[in-house]
A = this chain, B = another copy of it.
Amino acid sequence: MSGDTRARILAEALRQFAARGFDGTTISSIERGVGLAEGTGSFYRHFPSKRAVFDAVVEHELARLRAIRPEREPRGADGGTRPLSERVADDLRFLREVRPLVEILIRERDGMPHVAERVRDVLVERGLAGIAGDLATCGERGGEDPAAAATVLLCATVGYFLTTEFFGELPGGVDVERYAGTLARLLGGS
C-alpha cells in the first residue's frame, strides 16, 4: 500500500496542477491529498523538488495520450471508412481525456515552451493531418479550399471542447452527437 506512494503523488499532483496551477499547488496540499502528514517533508523522499514532480506529471500525461490517441486512416483489416460525424465524436471524447494537460498548458505555457510545443504536436499537428485525411478519405467536398476546410473542422472541434469545458454549458444545450452531426453535415459528410 505504501510502495506506490510515488504513483499516488503523480496522480494527485496532476489533479491539483490542473485545478489550481503550479503556484496554487503546495507540497503540503499534495502530501495531504495522498494521506501523508501535512507540512512534513515526506514528499521529498519520492521527488527531489516541486518542479521535478511537475515535469514527471507532464511526461506521464504525454505518454498516456500518445497511447490512447484515436487512430486515423486505420490500417486495420476492416478498412471501412467511418462517417465523419463519428470521427468528430471520437475527437471530442479524446479531447476530454486531454483536458487536465490542456488546463496545465494554458496556465503554465510561459516558462515551459518545450512542453507547449509537444502538446501542440500531439493535438494540433496530428489533429489537422488526420482531419485532412478524414476529409479526403470520405471524399467529401472541402469546397474550393480543402486545406482551409480542414482547419475549420479542427477549430470547430477544439472550439466546442474549450467552450463547454471553460465556459460551462452551451446555450441551447447542443450535445456532442447533435454537434458532431451538424458539423459533419455542413462539411458535406453524412
Report which A residues bind B (CB closer than 8 A): 19-21, 23-24, 105-107, 109-110, 116, 119-120, 123-125, 128-129, 143-145, 147-152, 154-160, 162-163, 166-168, 170-172, 174, 178-179, 181-183, 185-187
Q: How far is the CB of A189 from chain B (nearest CB, A)?
A: 12
Question: How many monomers of this chain does the complex have?
Answer: 2
Whether B155 pairs with A163 at a CB distance below 8 angstroms is yes
Complex CA–CA separation, A142 to B182 (angstroms)? 9
- Secondary structure at the A interface, as helix, strand, loop or mixed, is helix
Is the beta-carbon distance between A152 and B183 smaller than 8 angstroms? yes
Bound CA–CA A178/B145 (angstroms): 9
Report yes or no: B110 in contact with A186, Cβ–Cβ below 8 A. no
Are the CB atoms of B148 and A152 closer together than 8 Å? no
| Chain B residues within 8 Å of A160, by CB | 151, 155, 159
Contact of A149 among B21, B147, B168, B186 (CB under 8 A): B186
The interface residues of chain B lying within 8 Å CB-to-CB of A116 are: 167-168
Q: What separation, in Å, do the CA atoms of A183 and B155 have in the docked complex? A: 10
Among B20, B125, B145, B157, contact of A182 (Cβ-Cβ < 8 Å): B145
Interface-centre pick from A21, A120, A143, A152 (highest chain B CB count, 10 A): A152
Contact residues in B for A143 (Cβ distance below 8 Å)? 182, 185-186
Q: Could you tell me the distance between the alpha carbons of A165 and B148 in the complex, rounded to whole angstroms?
A: 18
Residue of B nearest to A20 (CB): B110
